[in-house]
Amino acid sequence: MTSTTASALAAHLPAVRHIGILLFDGVEELDAFGPWEVLANWTLNHPDDGWAVSFLSRDGAPVRAAKGLVLDAHHSFPDAPHMQVLIHPGGQGTRVLMRDPDHLAWVRAQRESVPLMTSVCTGALVYAAAGLLTGRPATTHWESLELLASLDRTIQMQPMERFVDDGDVITSAGVSAGIDMALHLVARLAGVDRARTVRRDIQYDPQPTV
C-alpha cells in the first residue's frame, strides 16, 4: 500500500473519541465496572464507531475499591487523552472527594473541556459540591438523596429515576443504575440499535425475584 493510499484511507476513518471512567480509593466496584462492561463491549466490538474507553486515576496508580478490590488505571490525570465523556462513579470515597479542594478544582476544569459529564451513584455528590448541578435535575443513590439536596438546594431532585439526562450532564441512581446510564450513553452516541445489540451481548435483562 502506498503512503498516498494509506493517507486516503486514514482520512475516512473516524477520529477516536474517548470516554474516561474515574477511579479513586473507595470507589464502588460496580459503579465503575458496570459502565465499563457496557462501554468496553461496545467500543471493542464496534471499533468503526470511533470510540474508546479507559480508566484514569489521579496519579495513574492502582486504587483500593470500596469492598477491597484493587483496580488499575490506564492513565493518570496529566497523561489521559482528551475526553468527550467523563464518568465519575460513587462509593464511600466520594465523601472525601466532595470536600477535597484539589479534586473539586479538577472536576470544574473537566467541565470546561469535556462536553458530557456523567456520574453514577454518589458521584453526583462530587458534582454538586463542585457546582455542576446548580439548577439542574439530578439523582443519586436513594440513601444519599437528602445529602445531595443539602449540598445545593437548587437541584431539582428526581428520586424515582434510574438516570437523568440533562443534556451535557447525566446523573444516575445507585450502583447497578450505572449500567442503564451507560446503555443510554451508547444510544446517544451510536444509536438505539447499537445499544440494543450491546444489551443483548451482555444479557442485561433484570427481572428481580426478591
pLDDT (0 to 100) of residue 5: 46
Residues 137/156, Cβ–Cβ less than 8 Å = yes
* pLDDT at 31 (0 to 100): 98
Residues belonging to the active site: 121
Sign of the Cα pseudo-torsion (76, 25, 178, 67, in order) = positive
pLDDT given at position 209: 82
Give pLDDT, residue 15.
86
| Grouped pLDDT means (10 residues each) for the chain, 210 residues | 47 78 98 98 98 98 98 98 98 98 98 98 98 98 98 98 98 98 98 98 91
Cell (9 digits) for 37 = 462492561
For the domain made up of 15-201, the CATH class stated in words is alpha beta
- The pTM of the full predicted model, rounded to 2 decimals, is 0.93
pLDDT for the residue 6: 45
The domain spans of the chain are 15-201
What's residue 12's pLDDT? 52
pLDDT for res 210: 83
